[in-house]
Amino acid sequence: MDVLYFAWVRERIGIPKERIETEAATVSELVDELRSREARYAAAFADLSALRVAVDQELSDFDATLSGAREVAFFPPMTGG
């Protein structure tokens, strides 16, 4: 699936997007997998209360299932307007 990062999450991880082969069943499992990869991921995902997640471009939460998901995005709380 495609994993996208925005704003400071993108800066901390260092890339805007990557393709990941994963068996993760939920967003939380995907986060655990990413955290264990490298320090920059662990830093970006250190505090989940500071993060929001979208699954297939719909706002979601960390317990959400990933079955059939094509795109997951992580970003800080939004500041539009």
Kindly tell me which residue out of 36, 47, 68, 80 binds other proteins, with binding defined by CB under 8 A: 80
Kindly tell me which residue out of 6, 28, 33, 35 binds other proteins, with binding defined by CB under 8 A: 6
* Nearest alpha carbon to residue 35 among 74, 71, 63: 74
3-state secondary structure at position 22: coil
* Nearest alpha carbon to residue 1 among 27, 15, 19: 19
Positions 59 through 78 that interact with other proteins (CB under 8 A) = 59, 73, 75-78
Question: How many whole angstroms separate alpha carbon 17 and alpha carbon 26?
Answer: 19
Record the tokens describing residue 1, joined without a space: 């699936």
Shortest spacing between CB 49 and other proteins, in angstroms: 12
Shortest spacing between CB 36 and other proteins, in angstroms: 26
The residue ranges that bind other proteins (CB under 8 A) are 4, 6-8, 54, 57-59, 73, 75-81
